[in-house]
Amino acid sequence: MKRTVAIGFIGATLDRLGKGAARWQKWRPSIGLCQQPDLLIDRLELIHGNDARDLGLAERIRADIAAVSPHTEVRLQQMELRNPWDFEEVYGALHDFVSAYPFDTEREDYLVHITTGTHVAQICWFLLTEARYLPARLVQTSPSRRKDEARHPEGSATLIDLDLSRYDRIASRFRREQEESLAFLKSGIATRNAAFNRSIEQIERVAVRSRAPMLLVGPTGAGKSFLARRIYELKRSRHQLDGRFVEVNCATLRGDGAMSALFGHVKGAFTGAQNAREGLLRAADGGMLFLDEIGELGADEQA
């Protein structure tokens, strides 16, 4: 039977809860992980900082685990992090740790404890596990309800396997949402035209994942204006835009008036500028500016 090995950061705050005998009535995640009745931890790799305070806490946690779970071996792993909220530093340190760790998947099963550590560390654990740098599952511990904490300080533990084939409901939800987005862009009109469907799929992928400008190409009357508004409404429904949809036919922008229409002007900026003008770019700030027939914009105006 394989041994179960857990890897995780010490909880600088949560593992420190309680003083004296009162600490046994508090949920402390690193200790609670080793108290689960249906999850036997044979070894815990406990990562901690290098200052005296962190080392003292790590030694106390190791001693307390020995008291409640004597079969669990606790190995203290020192890791120096100048800024535990710096993603690049934390990811690099954990990648180095994982690369040097002597995994033995034939004899051991591995769990990564994601409850402790900063949110940055939790994200890094997830990325390393998903990419299979870590041949492990995730384990998340949580406290009992407040009124039960003193009687059940061990809390509970949930295993998370990142093999998404086991999460068909999640995958089907993503597919359903994408299908709804595609149907929205097509205004609910089903079609078997493969080229059209491919174009809509590409537009949907770009629209919901990028803030870069988009160029819609097609003859006059093909529906570019309608599609642009649907893209705006789709992005707005995803909380990517909160401003207005502003449309302008570029064939009407000529000479100095083009600069004024796009960027606005203050009163008296030039002869005839009797009032200030906001400008289309300012009007569309936070939203979408659709430059219809942009090919009709003169070369001088484009420059």
Domains in the chain and their CATH numbers?
3-162 (3.40.50.10770), 186-302 (3.40.50.300)
Q: Average pLDDT for consecutive 10-residue bins of the chain (303 residues)?
A: 95 88 90 94 95 92 95 95 94 94 93 95 92 90 77 87 62 70 72 78 83 87 85 84 90 81 76 76 91 83 71
Q: What is the DSSP letter of 49?
A: -
Tokens of 181: 């987005």
Strands 136-142 and 156-160: antiparallel
Question: pLDDT value at position 95?
Answer: 94
Please tell me the distance from the alpha carbon of residue 187 to that of residue 64, in angstroms, as a whole number.
Answer: 62
Dihedral angle at the C-alpha atoms of 99, 102, 107, 109, nearest 10 degrees?
-40
Question: pLDDT value at position 290?
Answer: 93
Residue 43: in which H helix or E strand, if any?
Answer: strand 43-48
Please tell me the distance from the alpha carbon of residue 205 to that of residue 182, in angstroms, as a whole number.
Answer: 10
Question: pLDDT value at position 224?
Answer: 87
Question: pLDDT value at position 198?
Answer: 82
Query: Smallest Cα–Cα separation from 104: which of 243, 251, 4?
Result: 4
Instruction: State pLDDT tens for residues 232-287.
Output: 888 888 788 889 999 998 888 887 778 888 887 777 666 666 777 788 888 889 99
Please tell me the distance from the alpha carbon of residue 114 to that of residue 126, in angstroms, as a whole number.
Answer: 8
Question: pLDDT value at position 120?
Answer: 96
Instruction: State pLDDT tens for residues 99-131.
Output: 999 999 889 999 999 999 999 999 999 999 988
Question: pLDDT value at position 163?
Answer: 65
The answer to whether 117 touches 9, Cβ cutoff 8 Å, is yes
Tokens of 99: 């690369």
Q: Kindly report the backbone phi and psi dihedral angles of residue 249, in degrees, each rounded to the nearest multiple of 5, phi listed first.
A: -85, 115
Cα atoms in the 13 Å half-sphere on the side-chain side of 78: 9
Please tell me the distance from the alpha carbon of residue 85 to that of residue 197, in angstroms, as a whole number.
Answer: 43
Question: pLDDT value at position 141?
Answer: 95
Tokens of 41: 């931890």
Task: Return the HEC string of 208-257.
Answer: HHCCCCCCCCCCCCCCHHHHHHHHHHHHHHCCCCCCCEEEEEHHHCCCHH
